Amino acid sequence: MSVTAAPTTELADEALGVLRELTGRADAVFREGQDAAVAALVERRQRAFVVQRTGWGKSAVYFVSTALLRRRGAGPTLLVSPLLALMRDQVAAAARAGIKAVEISSANATEWDDVAARLAADDVDVLLVSPERLTNPRFREEQLPGLVSRCGLLVVDEAHCVSDWGHDFRPDYRRIRDLLGQLPEGTPVLATTATATERVVADVAEQLGAGGVAGAPAPVTVVRGPLARDSLRLGVLRLDTDRARLAWLAAHLSDLPGSGIVYTLTVAAAEETAALLRDAGHEVRAYTGRLDDADRRDAEEALRENRVKALVATSALGMGFDKPDLGFVVHLGAPSSPVSYDQQVGRAGRAVAHADVLLLPGPEDLAIWQWFATSSMPRQDHAAAVLSAMADGKAWSVARLETVADVRRSRLELLLKVLAVDGAVERVQGGWRSTGRPWVYDADRYARVTQTREAEQRAMLAYARPADSAECRMAFLQAALDDPTAAPCGRCDVCAGAWYSADVPSAAVAAASARLDRPGVELAPRAQWPTGADRLGVDVKGKIAAGDQVEAGRAVARLTDLGWGQRLRTLLGDDGVGGVATLAEDLEAPSIEEDPDAALDVTHRVIRPGLPSDAPPDDELLRACAGVLGSWDWAQRPAAVVAMPSRRRPALISGVAEGLARLGRLPYLGHLDLVAGGPTGQPGGNSAFRLAGVWGRIAVGEELRSRLAAVDGPVLLVDDLADSRWTVTVAGRELRRAGARAVLPFVLALTA
């Protein structure tokens, strides 16, 4: 139901005074529904779910309510919020109204004791925590019980994350249902979001009602308003190539109003795009999960203060960033659903009359989405392996669990969170421990969620149609959120015609091509053997001996790069972009421990069907490889070339190796040998399993060994793809032990 009861006159006057302190404006008034939501929380101590467009003022509701409840003797507000940037903005906003707000997060660990002391002294009005913090053993044991017992108000921000069906579902958010059941009777609860379909609203409202009196569901008041953003002018510009999209942006970025955000789907694209725009004379910065916290803060402030035209960002700059006068949002590549797209474009036009929003979709978008559709779903075989190992009742570290389940660490951590929320395991000091409760793989539930994700992808493809075959962009986004007020906006490129130029200057295309065609990235050598390898039959640990190591290598490109990365994805087909290529640390993912990018090594897989037949390299690829070698600042030039053995691409790998030997006038020594069929296992798992799969399965044959004896200098080792880097590490070790003075790995592509 909707809130209709306004506050009493006395409360209304008091609440208005707090609002004006919060905004710093003597003429500020409540927007429709804000004062009624405050009354529901303060006067009637109810549970409320507010679904309102970005910029409506949801934070004003909980800060005003906090101030009023504190004046009435209530304890501090516990605010569960997903992103550090959002926390920082809200702490600053609260201070304007005299509200003492602090956070507990991974970014301020040195301040936790001080925060605890202030909480004990009742000197905190609002404590902001991430949902992940609710699972932290120290916080759960030392702080949470006291907070729950005297909590004056519980706020769940970005509450769509609670729902399996929300576009940004996070397992830790499901712990909030348990938290609700622990609250003292009469504790008001507020959940807020700007993006929720009717299905998500119903799901969140049901969970919000958990833990009522005597176990009965508590009544939940839903406050839902129209979601249209009258300031936004939406458009979609379809261009055929990545260089055309970048060239358009370089030529037209200055045409966009004010300062804004350019979103990309990968870290590599953000960094490459920012570099190209700077070359074109634009003041921009890249904003990704590879920035440390201080650099993120500095970049955020640069945008807020209009010292840059744009931040070129991944989803690291997500729903938590607040700049009310943001003038534009451009997407190079589309998010996987209209709902998540609506969330990101909602950053613009909050305090300005007009803001421009443009989507430049790419042909690779659908392939990227296919992994996201199931990224929060545990694999049954991984879960079974973990639970079987933990049946001993002891605490298991994540590193130790990597030796029982062949899954990358961040995927393993996500699996543990899902199991913990389902009650099968719990986080304890020293790692994770089984609770002994039975766990059943809910295949039907995961299938339903997967179907929902696929429907969202189809909807996003429909949104991105050309204007002559699409419906009103804003009405489409409203309908995707089940907004009954959806109607043509009269401003978008469908309603009013294209408001943007489609011209792509040839000079801009040439500049973009020159940067994108520039090959060469470093391949960092492995320095440590993976933890737990000895438990998989590989008797090594600690540092790799200097005499066994390879040197820093080179690749033509990362598969996630623009330019050569896209060409190599096509060349390597399914092997390069699907089962083998786990684009770790490059496609952005939801956060672990408050940091939106702490989980960047979650296994993001870009899937493309088909596998090209093996063939020798063409002249263009060989020229690119030669260009990489020509710019390689090695200490000593290679003296010979060796190829990696290949079961799938012998012609390609040997062709590259022989071609480089010919161009460099170096002897080609042949290839290493496969032992017992060669490396085993599937790419994309963790280091221990990847090493075990290649250990003892590559050897230096007698003929190659004899040829090595005549080589006075480093050996160039050629392969097609580096994922975990254990193949070139083990192969290089074998070559070193066979007499090679040094090994310089060279691969066509890196997966990250």
- Which residue in the block uniquely carries the two structure tokens 């919060």? 22
Q: Is the pLDDT of residue 71 over 80?
A: yes
Q: Is the pLDDT of residue 371 over 70?
A: no
Q: How many residues does the chain have?
A: 752
Q: What per-residue confidence (pLDDT) applies to 595? A: 32
Q: Bigger pLDDT: 55 or 584?
A: 55
d(CA 668, CA 662): 8
Average the pLDDT over each of 44-53, 173-182, 589-598 and give the range with the smallest value.
589-598
pLDDT band at 610 (very low <50, low <70, confident <90, very high): very low
Average pLDDT over residues 638-661: 95
Which residues, 6+ apart, have CB-to-CB distance to 387 below 8 Å?
Answer: 419, 424, 425, 434, 439
What type of residue sits at position 54?
Answer: T
Average pLDDT over residues 630-648: 94
Map 453-489 to HEC letters.
Answer: HHHHHHHHHHHCCCHHHCCCHHHHHHHHCCCCCCCCC
Q: What per-residue confidence (pLDDT) applies to 588? A: 43
Q: What per-residue confidence (pLDDT) applies to 330? A: 98
Q: Is the pLDDT of residue 97 over 80?
A: no
Average the pLDDT over each of 375-379, 433-437, 743-747 and give the range with the smallest value.
375-379
Q: Bigger pLDDT: 604 or 550?
A: 550
Q: What per-residue confidence (pLDDT) applies to 731? A: 97
d(CA 719, CA 374): 31
The highest-confidence range among 314-328, 377-391, 497-511, by mean pLDDT, is 497-511
Sheet of strand 310-313, all strands in order from the earlier edge strand to the far edge = 232-236, 355-360, 328-332, 260-264, 310-313, 284-287
pLDDT band at 436 (very low <50, low <70, confident <90, very high): very high
pLDDT band at 232 (very low <50, low <70, confident <90, very high): very high
Q: Is the pLDDT of residue 600 over 70?
A: no
Q: What per-residue confidence (pLDDT) applies to 417? A: 86
Check if the beta carbon of residue 15 is closer than 8 Å to that of residue 7. yes
Q: What per-residue confidence (pLDDT) applies to 606? A: 35
Q: What per-residue confidence (pLDDT) applies to 227? A: 85
Q: What per-residue confidence (pLDDT) applies to 166? A: 58
pLDDT band at 153 (very low <50, low <70, confident <90, very high): very high
Longest dimension (CA), the chain: 95
What percentage of the chain exceeds 90 in pLDDT?
A: 51
Q: What per-residue confidence (pLDDT) applies to 319? A: 53
d(CA 674, CA 66): 67
Q: What is the pLDDT of residues 377-399, one digit of tens each?
A: 778 999 999 999 999 999 999 98
Q: Is the pLDDT of residue 8 over 90?
A: no
- Which residue in the block uniquely carries the two structure tokens 């190599």? 568
Beta-bridge partners for 103 = 128
Q: Is the pLDDT of residue 508 over 70?
A: yes
- Which residue in the block uniquely carries the two structure tokens 């880097």? 725
Average pLDDT over residues 698-713: 95
Up-side HSE of residue 448: CA atoms within 13 Å toward CB? 8
Average pLDDT over residues 484-490: 94
Secondary structure of residue 385 in the 3-state scheme: helix
d(CA 274, CA 280): 10
- CA 561 vs CA 29, 130, 515, 519: distances in Å: 49, 32, 11, 10
| Closest-CA residue to 129 (of 149, 145, 144) | 144
Q: What is the pLDDT of residues 277-308, one digit of tens each?
A: 999 999 999 998 888 777 888 999 999 999 99
- Which residue in the block uniquely carries the two structure tokens 């003797």? 73
φ/ψ (deg, to 5) at 203: -65, -50
Q: What per-residue confidence (pLDDT) applies to 176? A: 84
d(CA 107, CA 593): 9
Average pLDDT over residues 452-466: 90
pLDDT band at 77 (very low <50, low <70, confident <90, very high): very high
What type of residue sits at position 370?
Answer: Q
E-assigned strand segments in 57-204: 77-80, 101-104, 126-129, 153-156, 189-193
Average pLDDT over residues 176-205: 88
Q: Helices 242-252 and 506-516 sit at what angle, rounded to 10 degrees?
A: 120
Which residues, 6+ apart, have CB-to-CB distance to 595 below 8 Å?
Answer: 84, 106, 107, 289
Instruction: Go through the domains of the chain in sequence order and give each one's CATH number.
Output: 9-224 (3.40.50.300), 232-370+457-506 (3.40.50.300), 390-440 (1.10.10), 520-551+614-750 (3.40.50)
d(CA 333, CA 688): 34
Which residues, 6+ apart, have CB-to-CB distance to 650 below 8 Å?
Answer: 614
Q: Is the pLDDT of residue 86 over 70?
A: no
pLDDT band at 215 (very low <50, low <70, confident <90, very high): low
Average the pLDDT over each of 15-29, 211-225, 685-699 and give the range with the smallest value.
211-225
Is 470 exposed, middle or buried (CB count within 10 Å of its CB: 0-12, 13-18, 19+)?
middle
Map 208-237 to HEC letters.
Answer: HCCCCHHHCCCCEEEEECCCCCCCEEEEEC
Q: Is the pLDDT of residue 85 over 80?
A: no
Q: What per-residue confidence (pLDDT) applies to 167? A: 56
The overall average pLDDT reported for the chain is: 86
Average pLDDT over residues 553-569: 88
Return the number of other C-beta atoms located less than 10 Å from residue 507's C-beta: 11
Q: What per-residue confidence (pLDDT) applies to 538? A: 92
Average the pLDDT over each of 109-118, 427-436, 502-511, 715-724 and give the range with the smallest value.
109-118
Q: What per-residue confidence (pLDDT) applies to 25? A: 87
d(CA 332, CA 315): 12
Average pLDDT over residues 6-28: 86
Q: Is the pLDDT of residue 335 over 80?
A: yes
Check if the beta carbon of residue 467 is closer than 8 Å to that of residue 498. yes
Map 676-699 to HEC letters.
Answer: CCCCCCCCCCCHHHHHHHHCCCEE
Check if the beta carbon of residue 250 is closer than 8 Å to that of residue 282. yes
Average the pLDDT over each of 201-210, 521-530, 544-553, 672-681 and give the range with the smallest value.
201-210
Check if the beta carbon of residue 653 is closer than 8 Å to that of residue 691. no
Return the number of other C-beta atoms located less than 10 Å from residue 712's C-beta: 8
Which residues, 6+ apart, have CB-to-CB distance to 716 below 8 Å?
Answer: 629, 638, 640, 641, 642, 657, 660, 666, 744, 746
Strands 698-699 and 673-674, by their bridges, are: antiparallel
Q: What per-residue confidence (pLDDT) applies to 501? A: 96
Average pLDDT over residues 56-79: 93
d(CA 547, CA 361): 48
Token pair recorded at residue 686: 């963790």
Q: Does the CA dihedral 268-271-274-280 come out positive or negative?
A: negative
| Closest-CA residue to 682 (of 266, 381, 297, 346) | 381
pLDDT band at 194 (very low <50, low <70, confident <90, very high): confident
φ/ψ (deg, to 5) at 457: -65, -45
Q: Is the pLDDT of residue 672 over 60?
A: yes
Average pLDDT over residues 97-114: 82
Q: Bigger pLDDT: 656 or 680?
A: 656
Q: What per-residue confidence (pLDDT) applies to 492? A: 97
Q: Bigger pLDDT: 107 or 532?
A: 532
pLDDT band at 586 (very low <50, low <70, confident <90, very high): very low
- N-to-C CA span, the chain: 48
Eight-state DSSP code of residue 161: G
